Amino acid sequence: MTTNSIKPIQTIYLHDYTIYHYDLVCSTMDIARKLFENDCPHKTVVFANSQSNGKGRLNRSWTSQQGGIYFTVIMRPSLSIEKCFKFNFTASLAIINMLKKLCNINAFVKWPNDVLCNGKKIAGILSDMSAEGTVVHYLNIGIGINHMNILPLTCAIPATSIQLECHQSFPPQTLLSAFLGEFETLNHSIDQETILDTWKQHSCTMNQRVRIETTHSVFEGIAENIDSSGALVIRMDNDQLKHIVYGDCFHSYR
């Protein structure tokens, strides 16, 4: 299967977004990159019933069977590169708002890109950016939400689903529409400083002892803050403050 050989089963228009709905794709992120190369407009969405090669962080695979919600939002932001993290933060907040309002599920954000419910992962976010200097060509935000009881097998932490938490399932398009409505509202109503404060208020990472694993190093300490670039600030055991841009975050309760 190649990105050129598959076609959407329908095109949907919601909240000023153009949504291409596919049955099976290799990865919504791969399709999104191809659509950008073909000059798709700002606020295009690739939405799939399942993925054969879903993408996770640090080049991991993401189990994407039918029963989950998988989509990528293509943004062409008029922001400098250092401010584009705002969209990742608003996406995670839009997920928890959608879960609360539509599903009556209380969820929390976990740095850098997870949404947890009762300590279990219910959604994840992956972003992909193309930029030249400070000019951003595109920011693609990939989102996977565990909907039905088929849970991913590749999570580093236990997983849960919407159906497990509220004993109810929803039409996938209803969940996508609710997310896009919340995402659009947040992007229009929250400025750069407020989004950080709002994210921290809904975070289960702040003030926790954490272990951060990057491709080269491991850091442990207390998560104290999120800086103006979106990096996690931890106070290490030697009292040094460390600003961490990326990595896997594990909460520790020792």
Mean pLDDT within 100-115: 96
Provide the 10 A C-beta neighbour count for residue 222.
15
pLDDT at 190: 77
Q: How confident is the model at residue 61 (pLDDT cuts 50, 70, 90)?
A: low
Mean pLDDT within 100-126: 95
To the nearest whole percent, how much of the chain has pLDDT over 90?
A: 66
DSSP 136-166: EEEEEEEEEEE-SS---S--SS-B--HHHHH
In whole angstroms, give the CA distance from residue 227 to residue 249: 16
Q: Does residue 253 surpass a pLDDT of 60?
A: no
Q: How confident is the model at residue 70 (pLDDT cuts 50, 70, 90)?
A: very high
pLDDT at 68: 86
- Boundaries of every domain in the chain: 10-201, 209-252
Mean pLDDT within 29-50: 94
DSSP 70-138: EEEEEE--SS-GGGTHHHHHHHHHHHHHHHHHHH----EEETTTEEEETTEEEEEEEEEEEEETTEEEE
Q: Does residue 64 surpass a pLDDT of 80?
A: no
pLDDT at 3: 57
CATH 3.30.930.10 fits 10-201, yes or no: yes
pLDDT at 155: 57
User: What Å distances lie between residue 21 and 34, 72, 139, 227, CA to CA?
Assistant: 15, 11, 20, 37
Mind listing the pLDDT tens digit for each residue in 188-206? 887 777 899 999 999 999 9
Tokens 């928890």: give the residue.
96
68: tokens are 């989950």
Position with higher pLDDT, 230 vs 177 = 177
According to CATH, the topology of domain 209-252 is SH3 type barrels. (2.30.30)
Q: Does residue 152 surpass a pLDDT of 80?
A: no
Mind listing the pLDDT tens digit for each residue in 6-27? 889 999 999 999 999 999 998 9
Position with higher pLDDT, 55 vs 212 = 212
In whole angstroms, give the CA distance from residue 140 to residue 137: 10
Q: How confident is the model at residue 176 (pLDDT cuts 50, 70, 90)?
A: very high
Distant-in-sequence contacts of 218-224, Cβ < 8 A, 24+ apart: 219/244, 219/247, 220/252, 223/111, 223/249
Mean pLDDT within 72-92: 88
Secondary element (H or E) of residue 48: strand 44-51
